[in-house]
């Protein structure tokens, strides 16, 4: 009756050994696939060999040379796996372990009646070698971890996990070596296959973590590459725009020089040689327009105070010649704003068109021009006391490029030109230009 629990425990341990052997064979296949697919995990071939060697060792439980052979092969594969994992493989050690795979089975086979004690001695020797292997693996891993200037939290966590795993492996080695002298040898022998199973699972977990880290690294590299490409594209576009601007500027200067040297000279000749006052006046006006166009093509930014002086002189002079009293209101003289040459030219033409409309169509006797700078905008308000613009007159002016041209020029400068008028109460033109 007292032997029944021991028999049941031995039977249960035998069944568990069978399940573990099947699981270890599956893990051996997984390790082999990992080694086949990933170059950095080639040492997993030795883990697969270790697992298969243990399964074969369990198939030859009776002490003898096959049992010693599989034990020695398991140690050889385990040493190759653990040392290569920490870059600690050594050719001399490899040679000794291979020689041991031949010597230990040979010693057991030649032991004769002493084969049993020789086999037990070989098992004890291999147990000591396993313990030395675990200690060496732990030492090399710590040295590699401390060699890094910046600690990697993931590697530190992996190192702590390896320490616990190797500690369990050392206990498993001792239990497996002492199993024949323990009350329940089958149960004590379960520690070693459980350690091997944990070792295989650690490989899969580490490999999965490494692949996730590699994927994150690839994503980061892709992001950096996209940023570099975007930066290069922006630089290329900027250089292309600069090049286009330089070419355009040279072409503008060439056109301006041609206008000034050819057309300007001919108009000036007409002004001084024409016997007709009307032709001479038209030529002089054309010459002024040509010079204004040339200034827009090649001129530098204009100080707003200087531009106001030019506009005031022209507007007051033209209105005075038409017997219209002109009142000019300028902002304070401490403004420091500038106008681009193109904006100066467009504003000049808008003012000329407005004055021409007042002279030709308004019938006004008084005109007020108010200029101001407000919140980064240049404001001009032109108000007359004329008869206003009727619907028919506004249509004719638009068709003659009067009001329409003024609004178009303002729009080209990102500004606006508003016209308020009605029969009998004059006209107000509000021009807004961003500075």
Domain ranges of the chain: 3-228, 300-434
Asked if residue 422 has pLDDT above 80, the reply is no
Position 218 pLDDT exceeds 50: yes
> How far out from the chain centre does Cα 199 lie?
39
pLDDT at residue 116 tops 60: yes
pLDDT above 60 (res 3): no
Distance in angstroms (rounded) separating the CA atoms of residues 15 and 82 = 29
3 state DSSP class of 404: helix
Residue 1 banded pLDDT, cuts 50, 70, 90: very low
Q: How many Å separate Cα 390 from the centre of its chain? A: 61
Report the chain's mean pLDDT, rounded to a whole number: 79
Spatial distance between the Cα atoms of 32 and 116, rounded to a whole number of angstroms: 34
Residue 361: predicted pLDDT: 82
Residue 389 to residues 360, 363, 432: CA-CA distances in angstroms?
Answer: 12, 11, 21
CATH topology of domain 3-228: Rhopdopsin 7-helix transmembrane proteins (1.20.1070)
The CATH fold of domain 300-434: Heat Shock Protein 90 (3.30.565)
- 383 in helix, strand or coil? strand
Lowest mean pLDDT among 2-11, 39-48, 239-248, 353-362: 2-11
Q: Is 422 helix (H, G, I), strand (E, B) or coil?
A: coil
Q: pLDDT tens digits for 176-214?
A: 777 777 776 666 677 888 888 888 888 888 777 777 878
Per-residue confidence (pLDDT) for residue 401, from 0 to 100: 44
Provide the angle, in degrees to the nearest 10, between the axes of the packed helices 91-109 and 115-146.
Answer: 170
pLDDT at position 261, please? 60
Rounded to the nearest 10 degrees, the angle between the axes of helix 403-412 and helix 341-357 is: 160
Q: For 10-14, 57-61, 392-396, which range has the lowest pLDDT when averaged over its residues?
A: 392-396
Q: Which is nearest to 21 in space by CA: 52, 71, 55?
A: 55
- Judge if 3-228 and 300-434 fold alike in CATH terms: no
pLDDT of res. 228: 92
């Amino acid at each position: 009756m007292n032997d029944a629990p021991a028999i049941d425990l031995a039977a249960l341990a035998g069944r568990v050994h069978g399940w573990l052997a099947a699981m270890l064979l599956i893990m051996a296949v997984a390790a082999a696939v990992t080694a086949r697919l990933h170059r950095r995990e080639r040492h997993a071939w030795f883990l697969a060999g270790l697992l298969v060697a243990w399964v074969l060792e369990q198939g030859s439980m009776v002490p003898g040379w096959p049992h010693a052979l599989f034990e020695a092969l398991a140690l050889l594969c385990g040493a190759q796996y653990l040392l290569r994992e920490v870059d600690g493989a050594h050719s001399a050690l490899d040679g000794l372990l291979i020689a041991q795979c031949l010597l230990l089975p040979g010693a057991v086979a030649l032991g004769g009646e002493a084969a049993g004690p020789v086999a037990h001695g070989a098992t004890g020797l291999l147990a000591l070698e396993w313990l030395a292997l675990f200690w060496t693996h732990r030492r090399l891993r710590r040295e590699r971890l401390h060699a890094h200037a910046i600690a990697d939290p993931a590697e530190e966590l992996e190192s702590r996990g390896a320490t616990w795993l190797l500690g369990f492996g050392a206990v498993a080695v001792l239990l497996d070596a002492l199993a024949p002298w323990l009350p329940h040898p089958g149960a004590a022998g379960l520690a070693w296959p459980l350690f091997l199973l944990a070792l295989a699972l650690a490989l899969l977990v580490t490999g999965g973590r490494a692949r996730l880290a590699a994927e994150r690294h690839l994503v980061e590299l892709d992001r950096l590459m996209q940023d570099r490409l975007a930066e290069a594209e922006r630089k290329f576009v900027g250089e292309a725009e600069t090049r286009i601007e330089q070419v355009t500027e040279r072409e503008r200067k060439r056109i301006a020089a041609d206008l000034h040297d050819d057309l300007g000279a001919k108009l000036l000749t007409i002004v001084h040689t024409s016997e007709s006052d009307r032709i001479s006046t038209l030529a002089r006006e054309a010459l002024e327009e040509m010079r204004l166009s040339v200034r827009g093509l090649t001129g530098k930014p204009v100080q707003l105070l200087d531009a106001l002086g030019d506009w005031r002189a022209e507007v007051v002079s033209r209105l005075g010649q038409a017997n219209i009293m002109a009142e000019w209101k300028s902002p304070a003289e401490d403004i420091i704003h500038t106008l681009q040459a193109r904006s100066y030219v467009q504003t000049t033409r808008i003012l000329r068109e407005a004055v021409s409309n007042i002279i030709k169509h308004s019938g006004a006797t008084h005109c007020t021009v108010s200029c101001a700078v407000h919140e980064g905008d240049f404001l001009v308000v032109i108000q007359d006391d004329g008869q206003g613009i009727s619907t028919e007159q506004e249509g004719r002016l638009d068709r003659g490029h009067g009001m329409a041209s003024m609004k178009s020029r303002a729009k080209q400068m990102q500004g606006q030109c508003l016209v308020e008028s009605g029969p009998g109460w004059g006209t107000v033109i509000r021009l807004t230009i961003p500075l």
